[in-house]
């Protein structure tokens, strides 16, 4: 029985974070381009969706914890992070790479023009999001020495990591809505809904780590009563 529920949870997760973005893409009205460009667009959409899915692997997701062991969830979290982060960090390159198969502007010139367009808010958001993601990856990779040197405990590291994830996701989502070719109203609403739900789960985890404890009266107050 539990195995069936696990399979159902996996299928539901794949349907939400992979199936729905593909459906929105297929139903979108953005003009189609070359196969290579569309493949890169789909890859980026799915990578961002999987990044949003990371919030739902938090320990505050009690339904998931009741079905899978924490080491299993952590392993999935890492595998998704490695693959999705790689695609998103390569996103600027994937945008200009098709230029190599077209006439006119070279990929390098297109890349330089793109990252120096400081009058474009969407570009600035993209650069800021890319830098935040890089910091997120580097600090996650060197987690153990960072904990020992700065936070001295895992809880401090978790807050730092979660804060970076929230900052990156917020900026990346804004960038995607502002410049994304396929982020129409339907897909934008879907991403915003997932983001808010993911942030709520993360906030629940942090608030649960610091429950409001009743105030313990001083000894004098207790004796007076």
Give CA–CA dist 171/122, Å, rounded. Answer: 10
**The pLDDT of residue 205:** 78
Give CA–CA dist 80/13, Å, rounded. Answer: 13
Give CA–CA dist 13/18, Å, rounded. Answer: 8
Q: pLDDT (tens digit, 9 = 90+) per residue, 92-104?
A: 999 999 988 887 8
222 versus 134: the higher-pLDDT residue is 134
- Count Cβ atoms within 10 A of the Cβ of residue 126 and give its class: 0-12 exposed, 13-18 middle, 19 or more buried: buried
Q: Say yes or no to pLDDT of 28 above 60.
A: yes
Q: What is the DSSP annotation of 7-32?
A: HHHHHHHHIIIIIHHHHHHHH--SPP
Q: Say yes or no to pLDDT of 132 above 50.
A: yes
**The pLDDT of residue 74:** 86
218 versus 143: the higher-pLDDT residue is 143
For residue 45, give the 3-state DSSP assignment: helix
Which of 42-46, 79-83, 165-169 is the least confident region? 79-83
Share of the chain above pLDDT 90, in %: 44
Q: Say yes or no to pLDDT of 218 above 50.
A: no
**The pLDDT of residue 219:** 37
**Residues contacting 181, CB < 8 A, separation 6+:** 30, 41
Q: What is the pTM of this model?
A: 0.83
220 versus 69: the higher-pLDDT residue is 69
Mean pLDDT of 113-141: 90
- Count Cβ atoms within 10 A of the Cβ of residue 205 and give its class: 0-12 exposed, 13-18 middle, 19 or more buried: middle
Q: pLDDT (tens digit, 9 = 90+) per residue, 180-210?
A: 888 899 999 999 999 999 999 888 877 775 5
Give CA–CA dist 92/112, Å, rounded. Answer: 10
């Amino acid at each position: 029985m539990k195995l069936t529920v696990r399979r159902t949870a996996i299928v539901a997760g794949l349907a939400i974070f992979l199936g729905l973005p593909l459906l929105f893409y297929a139903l979108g009205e953005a003009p189609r381009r070359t196969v290579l460009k569309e493949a890169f667009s789909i890859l980026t959409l799915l990578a961002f969706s999987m990044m949003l899915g990371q919030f739902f692997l938090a320990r505050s997701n009690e339904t998931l914890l009741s079905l899978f062991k924490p080491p299993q969830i952590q392993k999935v979290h890492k595998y998704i992070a490695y693959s999705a982060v790689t695609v998103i960090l390569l996103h600027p390159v994937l945008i200009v790479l098709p230029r190599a198969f077209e006439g006119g502007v070279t990929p390098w010139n297109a890349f330089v023009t793109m990252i120096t367009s400081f009058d474009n808010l969407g570009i600035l958001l993209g650069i800021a999001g890319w830098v935040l993601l890089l910091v997120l990856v580097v600090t996650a990779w060197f987690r153990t020495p960072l904990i020992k040197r700065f936070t001295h405990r895992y809880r401090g590291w978790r807050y730092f990591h979660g804060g970076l994830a929230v900052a990156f996701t917020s900026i990346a989502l804004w960038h995607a809505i502002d410049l994304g070719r396929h982020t129409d109203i339907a897909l934008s609403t879907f991403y915003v809904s997932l983001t808010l739900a993911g942030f709520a789960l993360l906030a629940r985890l942090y608030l649960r780590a610091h429950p409001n404890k009743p105030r313990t009266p001083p000894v004098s107050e207790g004796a007076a009563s």
